[in-house]
Amino acid sequence: MSIRVTVWHEYRHEKKNKTVAEIYPKGMHEAIASHLRKSPDLIVKTATLDEPEHGLTDEVLQNTDVMTWWGHMAHGDVKDEIAQKVAQRVREGMGLIVLHSGHYAKVFKLLMGTNCHLKWREAAEKERIWVVNPGHPITRGLNSDCIVIDHEEMYGEHFDIPEPDELVFVSWFEGGEVFRSGCVWKRGGGRVFYFRPGHETFPSYHHADVLKVIENGIRYVAPQAGVIQYRNGSPNIKPSLEPIKAEHVVDESIHRH
Amino acid sequence: MSIRVTVWHEYRHEKKNKTVAEIYPKGMHEAIASHLRKSPDLIVKTATLDEPEHGLTDEVLQNTDVMTWWGHMAHGDVKDEIAQKVAQRVREGMGLIVLHSGHYAKVFKLLMGTNCHLKWREAAEKERIWVVNPGHPITRGLNSDCIVIDHEEMYGEHFDIPEPDELVFVSWFEGGEVFRSGCVWKRGGGRVFYFRPGHETFPSYHHADVLKVIENGIRYVAPQAGVIQYRNGSPNIKPSLEPIKAEHVVDESIHRH
Amino acid sequence: MSIRVTVWHEYRHEKKNKTVAEIYPKGMHEAIASHLRKSPDLIVKTATLDEPEHGLTDEVLQNTDVMTWWGHMAHGDVKDEIAQKVAQRVREGMGLIVLHSGHYAKVFKLLMGTNCHLKWREAAEKERIWVVNPGHPITRGLNSDCIVIDHEEMYGEHFDIPEPDELVFVSWFEGGEVFRSGCVWKRGGGRVFYFRPGHETFPSYHHADVLKVIENGIRYVAPQAGVIQYRNGSPNIKPSLEPIKAEHVVDESIHRH
Amino acid sequence: MSIRVTVWHEYRHEKKNKTVAEIYPKGMHEAIASHLRKSPDLIVKTATLDEPEHGLTDEVLQNTDVMTWWGHMAHGDVKDEIAQKVAQRVREGMGLIVLHSGHYAKVFKLLMGTNCHLKWREAAEKERIWVVNPGHPITRGLNSDCIVIDHEEMYGEHFDIPEPDELVFVSWFEGGEVFRSGCVWKRGGGRVFYFRPGHETFPSYHHADVLKVIENGIRYVAPQAGVIQYRNGSPNIKPSLEPIKAEHVVDESIHRH
């Protein structure tokens, strides 16, 4: 069964900074999307901040099974209304993969309920991303239990997130910090996967293992066919399923929900 | 060591509905607060929706260790700004106890990241609240592993919350439903405890065990003295703690965070 | 890709008790296995207590992707050595589904680390199994968010298990109890799913939804191809991946692990 | 309220190895116990492997609120029966702190249900233990969110444990690995805290912050007074709490549990 993927990208750095443009001539989104397009079962589209409605019309949202999200310098330019819609789609079952600096994206903070702070440093240091969850589908196809990235931005703990439902990766940084790099949560009927690497001045989205993890993540958070769906509302269940001894008069004058 | 508690209450039903006013002549908040005041180590204040700033000025917030929250008919009247401030105080370490229909309170939804839907029914049915976590501090002083409430509103699953960090109670309802009635989460440096009972037309906050659980919850979510504090920000950590082999030139023209 | 399933069954009640034999003339294992055999991708075998090595030779274990386990009156007759082997296979990646009275099976207790106590009552009462985790693959194909079983044995909380990694179902019983009926844990590289229904004197394994959940569970806990495998050992990692400033002389006379 | 602590120690290395004996002239247990004795509310005893019953008679066990456990070269010499008794006491509410190489202790493996493997290296390298859970009581009194130990044995992921209920610390090692260094689980009515540092050839139990964490851990896992107790058994609940429509004849000839 095919999975409809929307690779969402801020797409500003590439237009303003020569270093970034050289690494990602068509944008980071195309680096990710072109990898995903190699899989015939993934139907891949892209959307970017500066398109109308950030490329995320209701029609696009309704026809997306999994969205990936990269943003950084322009989180504030994402309209609140659009961020709310994306978050709501996740609750209704859409999968979401939040990448790197997307930790500060409105949609991620809305779903986490925290501020999503962290420590950071740009020193082109080495990162080792360790698998702490063997057997997990997100580790498929990795050659070892440690993904090595020669140069990356550092993110350090405390990472201000709710305790993950599943912790898949933990990073080691040359400069002395650690970070929970691969985390999964459920929100409503949808799964969220946060994956750390991807600073714009380094070619992390040309790294075979990083791309593999993103692809695995997409398959992992994709909604399942035929399952009990998320119910978007709070129904009044009357009459009751089982008989109730009604000794007590209910005051129906107070309506609620 | 004393705990400064603010019992926050919507306080509208009591003013409009005779049934509620008879059960809670001074308001539900006073039923809760008067129980708490029996403990000399709890310094108890109340605050209500219709006070200026809902009684939640910055000074009140800064001087509150644990807040309890009951709201129902007027969630929409709570100013977004105040809800955001309360949520932020939780992340900075304040404990929060959300009661009954507070499941739809802005502050709860902000902290959960979900819509917090549920099923419901007003049929004055029996509720049995079962302890599923023996040894938990929140169960202190209970006479049995089942709190029986003769007449309550029903709340049923699916309760639309993130998987709790700790599940303490699960309810059985006469009419056929179940509900995760006592749930704990951590958000930033603060703990949140949701506790289900407390429909306004029933005397649940005169029930000794319900009051005991609220009191226990307050002690459980209260911030601890001398612990590592939540850091509200994302600092740039330079220089690095450990030496970095700088083979790679970092482009300092891109500033972030 | 096919999944090799071994349906393990104690198979004693059917031989001793007429009621059970009438409900399950070929044994409970055949009721389950015959349903599973309808799926061409499931390669289904059975094994029972009174076969040599309980039907669980090393060869059978090595060629099983997912095992289901039902036991009750003869948990003590399962050899410790076999129970240990099955538990070890789970840690190495095999999926395990523990059914009903299997809560007291040696293999389940070995994997949980708890005593797995519960409350119980045989009163042919009604059970309602509620979905508390919409979107979960284990709910695939259910017609509603509540599986109703007209007559079952009651199991009640406190169910003495570690906090589940995922809670999928919670049961309501006519007689007043609740129970965490569908729970998932990870142990090493393998997943364990406990599913409650299945008392021998009731036809629960002829119930379409119960069979569906077992089938879904098998697909959910099946090992994934190509993932990072569980490492069964504690290797000494020398030389180190990164250089160490060896100011300190290590005493090599103390060997370990 | 006072807490009765039993510091259990293997106490073999100190007798056989000069380096260890110089660092811990009275044994590692005395280094820990002498710190704890500074707190008047902690009633501290020690017990060691080579005492009769390993110093863990039924009377000692019944009069211990929290036990700490360090073992390494002689895990196999701990009698199965004693390990089972300690595990059972945890389930009944006793707190347990497992230190360093205690990851392979029988009692820890019994409670975890896993093999508790890890990677290791003795290279006297630097360890940085990062707080990933601000606000947690176990972090009380730490001067920073990073405990630095100049020379320690390395433990690396994958650490073969069930997903912790609470993750408090993650370690960084100079040689390139990471490790979940501070983990909390609940088993039955009792809490277990694993804390990593403490290789016998380094003076980690003279490190002020390491001692502080152990002390904090003791207070955190100590059983609470007056709470709903763990029930060690599976009672038959008859008659039912709520009436059951008994349309179905129950076959009482099959007895169970």
H/E segment holding residue D84: helix D80-91
- The rounded distance, in Å, linking the Cα atoms of A114 and A107 is 11
**Numbers of helices and strands, H then E, in chain A:** 7, 9
Place of tokens 């006013």: B21
Q: What is the CATH number of the domain that holds D59?
A: 3.40.50.880
Secondary structure class of A219 (helix, strand, coil) = helix
- Cα angle A154, A160, A166 (rounded to 5 degrees) comes to 90
Q: At what angle do helices D208-221 and D28-36 cross, to 10 degrees?
A: 70
Mean pLDDT of C149-175: 98
Contacts A–C by Cβ distance under 8 A: 87
**A178 pLDDT exceeds 70?**
yes
pLDDT of amino acid C26:
97
Contacts A–B by Cβ distance under 8 A: 198
User: Where in the sequence is the domain holding C18, given as residue range(s)?
Assistant: 3-221
Across chain A, mean pLDDT equals 95
Residues 6 or more apart in contact with residue A132 via CB below 8 angstroms: A167, A168, A169, A170, D157, D158, D159, D180
- The rounded distance, in Å, linking the Cα atoms of B126 and C217 is 34
pLDDT of amino acid B247:
59
**CB atoms < 10 A from the CB of B37, how many?**
13
Residues 6 or more apart in contact with residue B177 via CB below 8 angstroms: A237, A241, B119, B121, B154, B155, B156, B157, C128, C130, C172
Establish if A12 belongs to a structural domain. Answer: yes
- The rounded distance, in Å, linking the Cα atoms of A109 and A115 is 6
Give the tens place of pLDDT for each residue, A15-47: 999 999 999 999 999 999 999 999 999 999 999
Half-sphere CA count of C160, side-chain side, radius 13 A: 29
pLDDT of amino acid D32:
98
Give the tens place of pLDDT for each residue, B62-116: 999 999 999 999 999 999 999 999 999 999 999 999 999 999 999 999 999 999 9
pLDDT of amino acid C1:
80
Contact D215, D162 (CB under 8 A): no
Establish if D54 belongs to a structural domain. Answer: yes
AA letter at A28 = M
Establish if B213 belongs to a structural domain. Answer: yes
- Cα angle B55, B83, B192 (rounded to 5 degrees) comes to 100
Starting at the edge strand found earlier in the chain, the sheet holding A146-156 runs A42-48, A3-9, A66-70, A95-99, A190-195, A178-187, A166-173, A119-131, A146-156
Mean pLDDT of B228-249: 89
- The rounded distance, in Å, linking the Cα atoms of A53 and C186 is 41
H/E segment holding residue D86: helix D80-91
Which positions in chain B have a beta carbon within 8 angstroms of at least one beta carbon in chain D? 93, 126, 128, 131, 133-137, 139-142, 144-146, 165-166, 174, 186, 188-191, 223-231, 241-242
Give the tens place of pLDDT for each residue, B149-193: 999 999 999 999 999 999 999 999 999 999 999 999 999 999 999
Whether residues B133 and C158 touch (CB distance < 8 A) is answered with: yes
Dihedral of alpha carbons D94, D97, D102, D108, sign: positive
Q: Which of B132, B134, B158 is the closest to C180 by Cβ?
A: B132
Among residues D91, A132, D224, D89, the alpha carbon closest in space to that of C162 is found at: D91
CA distance C110 to chain A (A): 20
If one counts the domains in chain C, the total is 1
Beta pairing, strands C178-187 & C166-173: antiparallel
The C-alpha torsion from D134 through D138 and D143 to D146, rounded to 10°, is -70
- Cα angle C237, C243, C244 (rounded to 5 degrees) comes to 85
H/E segment holding residue B216: helix B208-221
Place of tokens 């003791």: D218
**pTM summary value:** 0.96
Place of tokens 């390494």: D72
**Numbers of helices and strands, H then E, in chain B:** 7, 9
Give the tens place of pLDDT for each residue, C192-240: 999 999 999 999 999 999 999 999 999 999 999 999 999 999 999 999 9
Question: Which of C109, C248, C253 is best to mutate for the D interface (most D CBs within 10 A)?
Answer: C248
DSSP-assigned beta bridge partners for residue B3: B42
- Cα angle B33, B35, B37 (rounded to 5 degrees) comes to 70
pLDDT of amino acid C75:
98
The long-range contacts involving B77-82, CB below 8 angstroms and separated by at least 24 positions, are B77/B49, B78/B49, B78/B54, B78/B105, B78/B106, B78/B107, B79/B53, B79/B54, B80/B106, B82/B53, B82/B54, B82/B56
Give the tens place of pLDDT for each residue, A225-248: 999 999 999 999 999 999 998 666
- The rounded distance, in Å, linking the Cα atoms of B220 and B215 is 9
Contacts of A169 in chain D (CB under 8 A): none
Establish if C143 belongs to a structural domain. Answer: yes
| Buried b / exposed e along A97-133 (16+ C-beta atoms within 10 A) | bbbbbbbbbbbbbbbbbbbbbbbbbbbbbbbbbbbbb
Which DSSP string corresponds to C125-157? EEEEEEE-STT-GGGTT-SSSEEEEEEEEEEES
| E-assigned strand segments in B132-254 | 146-156, 166-173, 178-187, 190-195
- The rounded distance, in Å, linking the Cα atoms of A216 and A235 is 36
Question: Which of D145, D228, D240 is best to mutate for the B interface (most B CBs within 10 A)?
Answer: D228
Whether residues B178 and C159 touch (CB distance < 8 A) is answered with: no
Query: Chain B residue with minimal CA distance to A122?
Result: B250
CA distance B164 to chain A (A): 10
pLDDT of amino acid A246:
66
Half-sphere CA count of C69, side-chain side, radius 13 A: 31
pLDDT of amino acid B256:
45
Question: Which of A128, A170, A213, A227 is best to mutate for the C interface (most C CBs within 10 A)?
Answer: A227
Establish if A198 belongs to a structural domain. Answer: yes
- Read off the pLDDT band of B257 (50, 70, 90): very low
Whether residues D167 and A167 touch (CB distance < 8 A) is answered with: yes
Mean pLDDT by 10 residues, chain D (257 residues): 96 96 98 98 98 98 98 98 98 98 98 98 97 98 97 98 98 98 98 98 97 98 97 96 76 50
